[in-house]
Structure 1
Amino acid sequence: MKTNHAGKKRLQQAAAIALAAAAVAGNAMAQDPKMSDGVVRIGVLTDLSGTFSDFAGKGAVEAVKMAVEDFGGKVNGVPIDVIAADHLNKADIAASTAREWIDQRKVDMITDISGSATALAVIKVAGEKKRISIVTGGGTTRVTNEDCTPYSLHYNHDTASLANVAGKYIVKQGGNSWYFITADYSFGYSLQADTTAIIEAAGGKVVGSVKHPFNTSDFSSYLLQAQSSGAKIIGLANGGADTINAIKTAAEFGMLSPASKQKFAGLLMFINDVHALGLKTAQGLFITEGFYWDLNDETRKWSQRFYKRMGKMPSAIQAADYSSTMHYLNAVKAAGTDDPDAVIKKMKETPVNDFYTKNGKIRADGLLVHDMYLMQVKTPAESKGPWDYYNLRATVPGDDAYPPLSASTCPLLKK
């Protein structure tokens, strides 16, 4: 009996060892060293409560989640996780959130990063820690010039493309004298400087400018200064609620009436802004966009899916959030790893072909070069229904919309 008991005990021990070995082997297979910690984690760092929340915000988070769902929820056998946070449009909060995400939560890629100051803060942290960052919601050209990193990409638009498309067209139409109302932060400075260069190159001139605080509600004094300048074009080098408030005040002052000798150029506006203003106020405005939901069958199909989830049509930024996330995940799959060096290399060598853009190219400085669109806001009589807001006036090829790579001051480039 003792011998049988001992033999049974040895069999139980052997079975336990075998189970433990199998568990270790299973864990080893799950923790593929090519896929770091066994999960690909994407962080959507956006404006969830402030001036950019309508065209970024919750819609940006939802667009990224749509991309993950469409991809299948896993890549190279590991799950894809999406987390989000509000950077409150403060660079220090954005930087500390990015640092905590990377150090503590093992985030592999950070996207959206609406706002130029927050974008610059995040790409610096991500670059130092060798994590990929994709800016879709910040416009400053510094992202792919003096502040570029080996791990940062710039999607959707920058101030140079906005200036190239809007500035050239308006000057050609006779709008050759400008006065700027500019947001007092890096994005506003870049947009005014880039547009000024385009205006002057086209034979126009800038007669003056005034800076306003970020997220202000009173534009009266700024508009009166612009009005007294006599400039043919008042350029709004701002975005979000600032642009909307400026246009609403201008309408109250009668500055947007058809009889006015001065016209307005919304240098960074989105379809959400037009929706908030209404066609009666916004009609006739020229707007540069990187995407419009009603361009073709593909854009309409995806945008209708977004509409069912969010109750509104997507902005260009939100469409870019989806596209950039899908491009990232495809690169992870193709590279067979989430190693940032391998993934960024694959992203740069692979064209972007989806509903958002065709034959988009990510350059060595991290800039996605793609077609841009000059839109003019429809009159109420022209619109066939809700969200039918734009007439397409020009499709500008990416190589014309963006400055050439030779003009980039990105330190990664070998001059």
Structure 2
Amino acid sequence: MFPTRPDIAIIGAGPAGLMAAEVLAEGGVSVTVYDAMPSVARKFLMAGRGGLNLTHSEELSAFLSRYREAATWLAPAIQAFSPQQLRDWCEALGQPTFVGSSGRVFPTAMKASPLLRAWLRRLDAQGVRFGLRHRWTGWDDQGRLVFDTPDGRRTVTTGATVLALGGASWPRLGSDGGWVPILAAKGVAIAPLRPANCGFTVGWSDIFRDRFEGQPLKGISLSLGERSVRGEAVVTRQGLEGGAVYALSAELREAIASEGRAILHVALRPDLSTADLISRLSAPRGKQSFSNVLRKALQLSPVAIGLLQEVAKTLGQSLSSLPPDRLAALINAVPIKLTGTAGLARAISSAGGIARDELDVDYMLRRLPGVFAAGEMLDWEAPTGGYLLQASFATGVAAGKGVLKWLAGGTAGDD
């Protein structure tokens, strides 16, 4: 325990900020969580609408590889607060979890709201306070935190600060990237915020767009270069989105940035070999229409057939005139030209943020002693599947521990 109870400010009431608050309250310090929104964890609640995917059950080395270049950086935090520890934490809040068929981990309630209510009850019991409708605008000339509130400007003196303001996706839920110029003015290097786990734009014809907007392509495989992902995609008015697309979003975004486009190949029947496809397509058609042959012999959905026709037109080909071998090759490698990302406002998460070198091993900003950062505002990205929330929770824990170490006069900052 500390001789006095220093007041610590957490700015951002999402998973990273709330987890840092819990660690600090357990460590014996006074904690106030500030957020610009009128209620906490709005994006967390949004994520739970379709079943809250907390983490993933795969072996830890495979799990860490999902963070790509940031894997080495995030590994200590995730190893210290692992997927199993996150599940145990949920269990202790009265919210047991289960592993789905894909290996993803969900709370049994399949919602975020019961977990969040139990968590807030615990934080309240620990004495954590909240300052909502407090939009952080930086520091004054005395080093105090400055907030815009409904009652006007407010300044706060704090013993340390944890920034957990999120990235810039779904800005209407609170994470709008407004912190970027504040930290940049202090000399903190920040990688540009970019869409991640996002949709991509495609120049669909009006006919295809009007007929198939919102329809899913199920049981497909998407490929970019040597990387392939099984899953689903959804046709949007502007292009494509969905789980399989999100899994490749980093590579697709980088290809578009460097080449102006990305060619994504779609296997509509990845479970069938080329020889099997050719055999089915070579069978006598009788009086069936060509579309019926594709639907019955290959079990292709209307949207899958429409996609084949759409791409064949752009290639100057007629599907019905293609020989079986060429048609089979096309069915399991439909080329789709992606021309851009769908934008940050609709992206599930964002890439970019505070550069790795700006933080010490305890998640303290080297240029701003006593200021720590956690969560999605750091420069890392990961696919959906539980990896986003796991890293947010884990870095929140790490930042909270870093504050306690710093307050105790430890060697925070040593690498």
TM-score of Structure 1 vs Structure 2, range by shorter chain: under 0.3
Answer 1 or 2: which has greater strand percent. Answer: 2
Normalising to structure 1: TM-score of the pair? Answer: 0.26
Answer 1 or 2: which has greater helix percent. Answer: 1
Normalising to structure 2: TM-score of the pair? Answer: 0.26
